[in-house]
Structure 1
Amino acid sequence: MNIPKCVCKENRAPTAAIPSDCVCSAVAGPMNVHKMPMEGFKVPAVPLRPLATKTNTNDTQEQSSTSSELKKEDKKKSWMLTDFELGRPLGKGKFGNVYLAREKESHYVVALKVLFKSQIQDAEIEHQVRREVEIQCRLRHPNILRMYGYFHDEKRIYLILEYAKHGALYHLLKQCKRFDEKTAASYVRDLAKALLYCHSKKVIHRDIKPENLLIGHKMELKMADFGWSVHSPSSRRMTLCGTLDYLSPEMVEGKPHNYAVDIWSLGVLCYELLVGMPPFDAIDSHQTYKKIRYVIIKYPAFISEKAKDLMGKLLVVNPEQRMPLANVLQHPWIVENAPEGSHPPANNSHPPANNPRHQ
Structure 2
Amino acid sequence: MNINKCSCKENRPPTAGRSGCGCNINAPKIPMDGFKVPAAPVSRPLGKVNDNKEHQLASQGAGPAKGDDKKKSWSLSDFDLGRPLGKGKFGNVYLAREKESHYVVALKVLFKSQILDSEIEHQVRREVEIQCRLRHPNILRMYGYFHDEKRIYLILEYAKHGSMYKLLKERERFDEKTVAIYIRDLTKALVYCHAKKVIHRDIKPENLLIGHNWELKIADFGWSVHSPSSRRMTLCGTLDYLSPEMIEGKPHNYAVDIWSLGVLCYELLVGLPPFDAKDSHQTYRKIRYVIIKYPDFISEKAKDLMGKLLVINPEQRLPLINVLQHPWITENAPEGAQPPAFNPEQK
Which band: TM-score by shorter chain?
A: 0.7 to 0.9
Distance 1:236 1:72, change over 3 A: same
Aligned match of 2:224: 229
1:187 matched to 2:182: yes
TM-score normalized with structure 1 length: 0.84
Residues 37-88 of structure 1 show CA distances to partners (whole Å, capped at 9, x for unaligned) of: x944241442532322232259976538788833316522211100000000
Structure 2: how far apart are the matches of 1:239 and 1:162? 29
| CA deviation vs aligned residue, 1:250-309 (integer Å, no higher than 9, x gap) | 001111100000000000000000000000000100000000000000000000011000
Q: 1:273 aligns with which of 268, 272, 277?
A: 268
Could you tell me which of 112, 129, 135 is aligned with 2:130? 135
Q: CA deviation at 1:235?
A: 0.5
TM-score, reference length from structure 2:
0.86
Per-residue CA shift, 1:121-170, capped at 9, x if unaligned?
Answer: 00000000000000000001111000000000000000000000110100
Q: Distance in 1 between matches of 2:221 and 2:83?
A: 23
Q: In structure 1, how many angstroms separate the alpha carbons of the residues matched to 2:229 and 2:291?
A: 31
Structure 1 SS opposite 2:86:
strand
Which of 81, 93, 97 is the aligned partner of 2:92?
97
Quote the residue 1:263 is aligned against.
Answer: 258
Asked if the contact 2:60/2:137 (under 8 Å) is kept, the reply is no
Counterpart code for 1:342: A
Aligned residue pairs: how many? 314
Contact 1:148 1:162 in 2 (8 A): yes
Percentage identity across paired residues of the two chains? 80
Quick one: distance in 2 between partners of 1:68 and 1:315? 35
- Is this contact kept in 2: 1:272–1:278, CA < 8 A? yes
1:141 maps to amino acid: H
Distance 2:45 2:59 in 1: 10
Which residue number corresponds to residue 10 of structure 1?
none
Matches within 5 A, 1:106-185: 106-185=101-180
Aligned-partner Cα distance in 1 for 2:69–2:98:
17
Indicate how the Cα distance of structure 1 residues 168 and 326 shifts in structure 2: closer, same or farther if over 3 A, else same: same
In 2, Cα distance between equivalents of 1:47 and 1:252 = 42
Question: CA, structure 1 residues 204+225, in 2 after alignment: closer, same or farther (shift >3 Å)?
Answer: same
Is 2:310 the counterpart of 1:301? no
Whether the 8 Å contact between 1:48 and 1:149 is mirrored in structure 2 is no
Q: CA deviation at 1:342?
A: 1.6
Contact map agreement 2:57 2:63 (CA 8 A) in 1: no
Tell me the CA shift for residue 185 of structure 1.
0.7
**Matches of 1:285 and 1:223, distance apart in 2:** 26
| SS state at 1:256 partner | coil
Match of 1:29 in 2: none
Change (3 A) 1:130 1:231: same
Tell me the distance in 1 between the aligned counterparts of 2:280 and 2:142. 34
Instruction: State the alpha-carbon separation in 2 of the partners of residues 94 and 67 from structure 1.
Output: 29
Equivalent position SS for 1:63: helix
Q: Kindly indicate whether residue 305 of structure 2 is the aligned counterpart of residue 310 of structure 1.
A: yes
- Listed as ranges, the gaps of 5+ residues in structure 1 are 1-37, 352-359
Task: Give the match for residue 335 of structure 2.
Answer: 340
- Residue 316 of structure 1 aligns to which amino acid in structure 2? V
Query: How far apart, in 2, do the equivalents of 1:348 and 1:329 lie?
Result: 28
> Which one-letter code corresponds to 2:115 in the other structure?
I
CA contact (8 A) 1:49 1:73 kept: no
Q: Note if contact 1:57-1:108 (Cα within 8 Å) is conserved in structure 2.
A: no
Give 2:150's aligned amino acid.
K
1: CA distance between counterparts of 2:300 and 2:59? 41
